[in-house]
Amino acid sequence: MHGLNPYTSFSPASAGTQPFENSAVQHIGYVEERDTNSLLLDVAATDLCHIAHVITDGLVGAETRVLPILGLLCKSRREQSFPMDLLQKGLSVDIATAQASKEEDKTRILNSVRCPRARTWALDTPFPTQHPRYDAVNKALASHFALTSIQQSYRNGQQAPSTPWQALRSDAERRNIQVSLTGCHNFRDPDLRILIDNLPSKLQSLRLDLAYTGLERLDDLAGASFGNTLQTLVIRFAGSLRSISGLSALLCPSLRRLELWLSDLPDLEDIELGVSNKALLKLRLEELAG
């Protein structure tokens, strides 16, 4: 981001007017991705006991050096302690009314969002209070909080409320989603259908780690669809799953890569795969592991 430090403190305001409490200040900043030149979004907060919590955009540290299913599980559990009240406030974040550590930083941040290719001098010009790019960033931030809120709800043995689902669905520009609900026994077949129905419309890559959940037959997926944009689908199952025949409903024509990870399932050789699907037959088999 032109004219900005690699990490800039930026405290969103609750409901667009009031800042977060000083004892639980949230900081949002774009940081360099760990393995590419692109930028990712990490969110940090301190709770009332002054303990830091971080939501990361992707795996970090030791999470990147273990099996993928374990890395995403570690990330989900690490983020489980993120203050729930801040997650709820993040669902309605408005960057135009948020506070920055310095007023000039806020001006430059909003101008960078509004005009990403602007020259450095232009970043110090007055910014408008409303802009379509602000809305896009607000929705991206809200869906970022929504994913953590949804996973946190199921890990706490609760059903995810409607607000984070709406925030996730509204982020039309999101292209990639990774979710780990491994070990969430209260995540059942109807919940998977809710998740599928609330995915962003332009999603291109989806990874779901669903080991040892309450899923059994996936029958509720009948009639569900990813539309015509999804290209990569990775789903990992383990536990009590008896059938994946309903999964054929998700094999959209745009799909180019399908990875199914089946492990530790009862009577694995008898699992119901369903009838042949034309979309599945078009996929190129690259690897078959026992």
- Residue 282's pLDDT band (cuts 50, 70, 90): low
Lowest-confidence pick of 32-36, 47-51, 154-158: 32-36
Flag whether pLDDT at 167 surpasses 50.
yes
Determine the pLDDT at residue 269: 56
- Residue 245's pLDDT band (cuts 50, 70, 90): confident
Lowest-confidence pick of 2-11, 76-85, 137-146, 262-271: 2-11
Flag whether pLDDT at 199 surpasses 70.
yes
Task: Name the more confident of 236 and 227.
Answer: 236
* Residue whose C-alpha is closest to residue 139's, from 182, 112, 191, 174: 174
Mean pLDDT of the 134-140 span: 91
Residues 6+ apart with CB under 8 A from 79: 53, 54, 55, 56, 148, 151, 152
Mean pLDDT of the 134-153 span: 91
* Residue whose C-alpha is closest to residue 214's, from 242, 196, 187: 187
Flag whether pLDDT at 279 surpasses 70.
no
Flag whether pLDDT at 25 surpasses 90.
no
* Amino acid present at 247: L
Mean pLDDT of the 195-216 span: 92
- Residue 142's pLDDT band (cuts 50, 70, 90): very high
The three-point CA angle 186-250-264 to 5° equals 50
Mean pLDDT of the 117-133 span: 84
pLDDT exceeding 70 applies to what percent of the chain?
78
Mean pLDDT of the 67-72 span: 81
Mean pLDDT of the 250-267 span: 82
Distance spanning both ends of the chain, measured CA to CA: 46
Highest mean pLDDT among 73-82, 179-188, 239-248, 267-276: 179-188
Determine the pLDDT at residue 234: 93
Q: What is the DSSP letter of 185?
A: T
For 213, the enclosing helix (H) or strand (E) is none
Q: For residues 93 and 81, is the Cβ–Cβ distance under 8 A?
A: no
Q: For residues 265 and 271, is the Cβ–Cβ distance under 8 A?
A: yes
Highest mean pLDDT among 24-28, 31-35, 67-71, 178-182: 178-182
- Residue 264's pLDDT band (cuts 50, 70, 90): confident
Determine the pLDDT at residue 270: 57
Mean pLDDT of the 70-90 span: 85
Flag whether pLDDT at 20 surpasses 60.
no
257 φ, ψ (degrees, to nearest 5)? -140, 125
Domain boundaries, the chain: 1-163, 175-290
Q: How far apart are CA 67 and CA 70, in angstroms?
A: 5
Mean pLDDT of the 39-66 span: 83
Residues 6+ apart with CB under 8 A from 55: 42, 43, 44, 79, 82, 144, 145, 148
Determine the pLDDT at residue 213: 93
Flag whether pLDDT at 187 surpasses 50.
yes
Q: What is the DSSP letter of 20?
A: P
Q: How far apart are CA 232 and CA 76, in angstroms?
A: 21
